[in-house]
């Protein structure tokens, strides 16, 4: 699917990228928009749109590549921490529709804004939502 997908083009070598790791299942390359120094994207070689399309086997292989890439980033850049980020769908800010994980080395807590605010809820208030999810999964 190289004609319309930027990441497929990178995987195929048709679009230039700074690749930091690759194996038979994944390619990891520096994000052209560095949110932090070393911000890296890990993508499957085979095109899949998002989390609902990747499937558990391919997701496992991709995560294996992400763990390996994170270790490379940690060794090379010595960040104090690292975030992993994924977005499925435009509402979640997905802009390239080829599954990818962002690895974001963190050097200070102020490197990035917090993505959401924390509101702890009483556990009992989550029961109806959990029941709804379990019921949908069973049907």
> Is residue 28 very low, low, confident or very high in pLDDT (cuts 50, 70, 90)?
very high
More confident residue, 98 or 126: 98
Mean per-residue pLDDT of the chain? 92
Q: Where are the domains of the chain?
A: 6-138
Per-residue pLDDT band for 2 (boundaries 50, 70, 90) equals: low
What b/e readout covers 27-64, taking b as 16+ CB neighbours within 10 angstroms?
bbbebeeeebebbbbbbbbbbbebeeebeeebeebbee
Q: Are 38 and 30 in contact (CB under 8 A)?
A: yes
Work out the pLDDT band at 61, boundaries 50, 70, 90.
very high
Say which residues have a Cβ less than 8 Å from residue 50's Cβ, sequence separation at least 6. 88, 89, 94, 97, 99
| Better pLDDT: 103 or 109 | 103
Phi and psi (nearest 5°) for 42?
-115, 120
Provide the percentage of residues in the chain whose pLDDT is more than 70. Answer: 97
- CA distances, 57 to each of 32, 40, 61, 75, 120 (Å): 28, 22, 6, 28, 33
Given 3.40.30.10, 3.30.428.10, 3.40.462.10, 2.102.10.10, which CATH number is that of 6-138? 3.30.428.10
CB count, 10 Å around CB of 15?
14
């Amino acid at each position: 699917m190289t004609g319309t997908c930027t990441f497929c083009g990178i995987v195929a070598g048709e679009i230039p990228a700074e690749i930091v790791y690759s194996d038979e299942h994944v390619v990891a390359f520096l994000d052209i928009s560095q949110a932090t120094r070393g911000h890296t994207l890990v993508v499957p070689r085979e095109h899949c749109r998002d989390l609902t399309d990747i499937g558990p086997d391919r997701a496992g292989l991709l995560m294996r590549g992400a763990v390996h890439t994170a270790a490379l980033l940690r060794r090379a850049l010595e960040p104090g921490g690292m975030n992993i980020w994924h977005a499925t769908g435009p509402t979640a800010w997905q802009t390239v529709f080829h599954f990818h994980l962002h690895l974001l080395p963190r050097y200070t807590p102020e490197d990035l804004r917090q993505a959401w605010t924390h509101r702890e809820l009483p556990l009992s208030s989550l029961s109806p939502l959990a029941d709804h999810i379990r019921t949908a999964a069973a049907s």
